[in-house]
């Protein structure tokens, strides 16, 4: 059995914009990343995407290491993730955006798959969202 990993950190950034301006950018941007909205309302937070399931295939192995067992192209891990996004007004000109990635991971076992366990994100995807908002503004 796997132990649970620490929760993902909350990533945030301050923008010179009103919450509704940022909301409109996020509303149209997130589907471009392959997520659909589960909850989306500019008067209530957080905004929540639906979970997306993904899989990770083993890396290519150099030919001298290959064996029949290693040549399978089946995934050795899979995960599901979603984003929770909150926008708060700081003052009349500035807002802060908080982004959290909710991640669950399962590993291939000899009998199939392990149960999903809570994972943690390193922040790359959250940073991309925050940077895209900045670019759009």
Maximum Cα interatomic distance, the chain, rounded to a whole number of Å: 64
Q: Per-residue pLDDT for 102 more than 60? A: yes
Selected residue with higher pLDDT from 80 and 116? 80
Residue corresponding to tokens 């999903």: 116
Under the phi-then-psi rule, with left for phi > 0, alpha for psi from -120 to 50, and beta for the rest, what region is 56? Answer: beta
CB neighbours of 26 closer than 8 A, spacing ≥ 6? Answer: 47, 85, 87, 97, 129, 133
Question: For the segment 42-69, what is each residue's pLDDT rounded down to a tens digit?
Answer: 777 789 999 998 776 655 554 444 445 5
Confidence of residue 90 (pLDDT cuts 50, 70, 90): very high
Yes or no: say if 36 and 49 are a contact pair by the CB < 8 Å rule: yes
């Amino acid at each position: 059995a796997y132990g649970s990993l620490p929760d993902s950190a909350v990533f945030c950034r301050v923008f010179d914009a009103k919450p509704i301006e940022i909301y409109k950018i996020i509303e149209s941007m997130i589907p471009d990343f392959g997520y659909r909205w589960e909850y989306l309302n500019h008067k209530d937070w957080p905004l929540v995407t639906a979970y997306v399931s993904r899989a990770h295939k083993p890396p290519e192995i150099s030919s001298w290491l290959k064996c029949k067992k290693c040549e399978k192209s089946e995934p050795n891990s899979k995960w599901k993730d979603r984003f929770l996004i909150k926008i708060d007004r700081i003052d009349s000109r500035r807002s802060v955006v908080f982004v959290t990635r909710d991640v669950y991971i399962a590993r291939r076992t000899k009998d199939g798959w392990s149960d999903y366990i809570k994972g943690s994100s390193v922040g790359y995807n959250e940073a991309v969202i925050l940077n895209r908002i900045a670019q759009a503004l």
